[in-house]
Chain A
Amino acid sequence: MDKTILIIGNGNCAQRIAENLLVQGVNVIIASKDQHFEFALSSAAKRQTWGSIEILTPTSVLACYGFIGLFDILFQSAREKIRRNASIIIIAEDYELKPNFDLYDLNPSVYVWSLSQINESVNGLQHLKKNLPIGSKIAFLTGLIKESNAVIQENVMRTALRLQLDLELQTYIFTGNLKVSGKGLEALSRELKKAGAVISKFTKNIPQIIQNRDGSISITYLDEVTLQHFILIPDITVVDETIYPSNYLPHLADVFGLETDLLGFLQADNVHRIQTHTNRKGILAAGPSKAVQSIADHLSDADGAAQTAIEFLRGSFFQTRYTAEINTGMCVRCLTCLRLCPHHAISFGAKLGVILEACEGCGLCAAECPATAISQQHLQDNIINQNFLNRPKQIDPASPSIVAFCCGRSAVPCAELARCMRHKLPQGLFIVEVPCACSISIEYILTAFTNLAEGVLVLTCHEGNCYSEKGILFANNRTNQVLDFFEQTTSSGKRIEMHTIASNMGTEFFEIVNQFEKMLIDMGPLH
């Protein structure tokens, strides 16, 4: 593999990723859409840097071709188009803070500031000192209408503490839930109270905040501890902020084909993606491009991303044994596979092909190809293998033959756990391991029935925990289609069920298969 890694980013996290890679002898390209990227190696790193660095500013990404190990990226710089190759891409764009003026229905004025605004002023203390006499009242509004988080509230508390101690102002924090789930924050909140700040928390009746014509504020509230009403006219009201992903991220998601979370960060809400993985092998999302988190967590992501990138360079990334293969003779170029592949592993050139390095073997393409032109390595052996064909086929009404298609990430380990917890699983249970729910095609389900299964179970990960994001939806649709077909042709009830399960739930597995067996016994034999 070529040893170059592209970092797209503009802040501390990007800087630290670069440093981590350089000291490990990896070449780095940093591409930032900002005018400049200040890159200074720490003195320790300077002594031991082996990799080379190239900085491209200001550039934005236009297109990305290729796959892990051989990405080909096209940039637009101020004057020209630039092309670079990289093995791995790491994205670490800083996020943006937007003040919540609208949320509280307030207009910024000399009386109404954003959190960033007051932060900047606190750093130039002298100016504030001149304008605010000792004892002036500063009110912070945070997490009252929408829940805040520990990152923002740490900022609120640190700012308030400085105002309280350094400027001897009287600070008030109005909040719903005080967010202290960060290192040292509980202690900080106590220090703040000790310094004289008032922290008022509201459960139901949040304060009434009114902005007068001159822009000044009055806050009327019921204190939940003393049950007394108060009116506060602060000299400055500080409105907290919301963290948003950089406005560059939607474009990057588009160019690189990345799944995002609800807010638009470049990592889907999926535990398989921990720490910095995305749905594309070889493209990582770190720090402020990954999620709302503290600066310490950004730096830890910088370590994690660099480490994963080096693992990839060493070739020690997960190579599935179930890679897909297109029989170009059968392919009708409908491009279903290209459109559906969750991992962008189908290449589209003179001829259509699977990029083996990028393929995760989920099997979605194979199951959905209308021309059945795609097959998956090793899967066929799992489905109709000798064990299955040779399994005892005496039709014993007390132990009906059940074929369970089990996702190798969840249901298979679950079955193993159930066995070692010594749950008694049905005698007629036959487990077919599949790499992902995606690959359980209608054809496979029907194959089970034609091979004398009395019932079929489709057992996959829970929705939201699918390694290929949407495998469960596809499996569910196919299950329902077979079910519909059955309901039209037989009246003997539901012989196929789909359940979702996690890898650590042996007892649940046992309950599902046993209930299914019981139901089949009640229904009587099919064959």
Chain B
Amino acid sequence: MADGKVLIIGGGVAGLSAALGLARLGLEVQIVEKKSFLGGHAIRFSCKATDRCVKCGACRVEETLKNVTNNPKIKVWTETRVINVSKANTFTIHLSKRPEYINPRKCTRCGACFDQCPESGALIQGHSNYNFPFIAIYEEKCRFMRDRSCCICQEICPEAAIQLDGNSQQKVYLADAIIIATGFQPFNPESKPYGYNSFPNVITNLQLEEMLKRESIVLRPSDNTIPKKIAFIQCVGSRDAKLNHLWCSKVCCASALRLARLIKSRQPEIEISFFYIDVQTFGRDFQAFYAAVQNEVRMIRNIPGDIYQTEDKRLQVNFYDAALAVTQEEIFDMVALSIGITPSSELNKMVELFELRLDETGFAFGSGETQWFSVPGVYTAGTASGPMSIADTIASASQAVTAVAKLLRQKAG
């Protein structure tokens, strides 16, 4: 194995897995993550085990993050972006890291700042024990960043770990290869007639995942009561010709049905309806899972037209009942929209920086070595190149690693 340095853009499960693979081959790896916390979307997911593990893969993300944290070959840059790239024999990459407001070496995670901050959302918490620091400042919300009208956290932090007027850092890094692992963008369902963001009890499945992880049960957002009836609406933003989203997001049938069974096992009194087009096959025991879920969940093969809110903040869902050939109206306490995986707008920046090519759906073209590149040495991993599950993401990362290993071997002659 030849020596080499690799830069990975994006610290979701794709970037983390690729980093581990490369480090284990003896390469030096840098991960650049624009957000405060590593782990991407999947670090926020809930375990969906009922009486046994249902192989959702969420805990694998936690484990991968732990292994990355403990690997001395991997260096992580959070709150950092790639500004500029030039390519000669190697890549010269200019990075910009936002000021380090909270010093991870000093912060003891006591949470004093979090409790005292007057602006909700200005301080955010990580999702894993391996997020360093565990607390971060969200610049858009923080009053100090806006008009310097508050610096409570800095004053009260017992460890003096907070420094609100730090400077951003610029770095130049040389790399032999680049892996683009910028992930996906969850579909924003505001444009759909489901009242998302105006009806409090219409949430996305991502929010439901987070709620189950945080609270371990489902509560109706408007009043924190236990809902009696929940509806899942599938394929929101996927398989949608009007949006020109001609793809299935691959993961939402599995995620929603596993969540539904989890809820049933914790709160059996809740009635769950599942509005769908087709149920996709997932897992090694799908046949048995599907049979079981049909007993616990009411399956309705139709995607509702629209949703209205009643006076008591319940939701009237209108759908077509094919069996009776009539339009039905039914009241639910809560609706979870299974929003799809869509291409991240970050990909456009990657197109500019690396001449990355996108396919007709807007995702990166291919992955690993099959990625068409005008600049040799640039590869993609994970959902940057299309919808995939955590397991598939880990597999695609291994393709990128293999491609890098081959390239370096070639270079070494």
Interface residues in chain A, defined as those with a beta carbon under 8 Å from any beta carbon in chain B: 20, 23-25, 48, 146-150, 177-187, 190, 201, 203-204, 224-225, 227, 261-263, 265, 269-272, 274-275, 291, 297, 299-301, 303-304, 306-308, 310-311, 314, 316, 409-410, 413, 416-417, 419-422, 461-465, 500-508, 511
Q: Which residue of A lies closest to B56 (CB)?
A: A271
Contact of A186 among B57, B59, B247 (CB under 8 A): B247
Interface residues of B, count at CB 8 A: 76
Q: Are B395 and A275 neighbours in the complex by a CB distance under 8 Å?
A: yes
Q: Are B59 and A304 neighbours in the complex by a CB distance under 8 Å?
A: no
B322 part of interface (Cβ distance < 8 Å): yes
Q: Are B409 and A23 neighbours in the complex by a CB distance under 8 Å?
A: yes
Q: Are A271 and B60 neighbours in the complex by a CB distance under 8 Å?
A: yes
B410 part of interface (Cβ distance < 8 Å): yes
Q: Which residue of A lies closest to B253 (CB)?
A: A181
B54 contact set on A, CB distance < 8 A: 464
Q: Which residue of B lies closest to A269 (CB)?
A: B284
Q: Are A413 and B129 neighbours in the complex by a CB distance under 8 Å?
A: yes
Q: Are B391 and A502 neighbours in the complex by a CB distance under 8 Å?
A: no
Chain A binding surface SS class: loop
Contact of B278 among A201, A314, A422 (CB under 8 A): A201
A262 contact set on B, CB distance < 8 A: 284-285
A20 contact set on B, CB distance < 8 A: 402, 406
Q: Are B129 and A274 neighbours in the complex by a CB distance under 8 Å?
A: no
22 contacts between A and B (CB under 8 A): A23-B406, A147-B290, A177-B279, A181-B250, A183-B247, A186-B238, A186-B248, A187-B361, A203-B322, A224-B322, A262-B284, A269-B285, A275-B398, A303-B368, A304-B399, A306-B402, A307-B402, A308-B398, A422-B111, A464-B49, A503-B62, A507-B215
A408 and B111 CA atoms in complex are apart in Å by 26
A149 and B279 CA atoms in complex are apart in Å by 10
Minimum distance in angstroms from A87 CB to a CB of chain B:
15
B401 part of interface (Cβ distance < 8 Å): yes
Chain B binding surface SS class: loop
A150 contact set on B, CB distance < 8 A: 280-281
A270 and B49 CA atoms in complex are apart in Å by 13
A187 contact set on B, CB distance < 8 A: 246-247, 361
B398 contact set on A, CB distance < 8 A: 275, 300, 303-304, 307-308
B239 part of interface (Cβ distance < 8 Å): yes
Q: Which residue of A lies closest to B130 (CB)?
A: A413
Q: Are A301 and B279 neighbours in the complex by a CB distance under 8 Å?
A: no
Contact of B52 among A261, A265, A462 (CB under 8 A): A462
B392 part of interface (Cβ distance < 8 Å): yes
Contact of A417 among B129, B290, B405 (CB under 8 A): B129
Minimum distance in angstroms from B371 CB to a CB of chain A:
13
B285 contact set on A, CB distance < 8 A: 262, 269
B200 part of interface (Cβ distance < 8 Å): no
Q: Are B405 and A307 neighbours in the complex by a CB distance under 8 Å?
A: yes
B224 part of interface (Cβ distance < 8 Å): no
A25 and B25 CA atoms in complex are apart in Å by 14
Q: Are B214 and A507 neighbours in the complex by a CB distance under 8 Å?
A: yes
Shortest 7 CB-CB contacts between residues of A and residues of B: A502-B47, A304-B398, A465-B53, A303-B402, A464-B53, A181-B280, A462-B53
Q: Are B284 and A178 neighbours in the complex by a CB distance under 8 Å?
A: no
Contact of A502 among B58, B128, B283 (CB under 8 A): B58
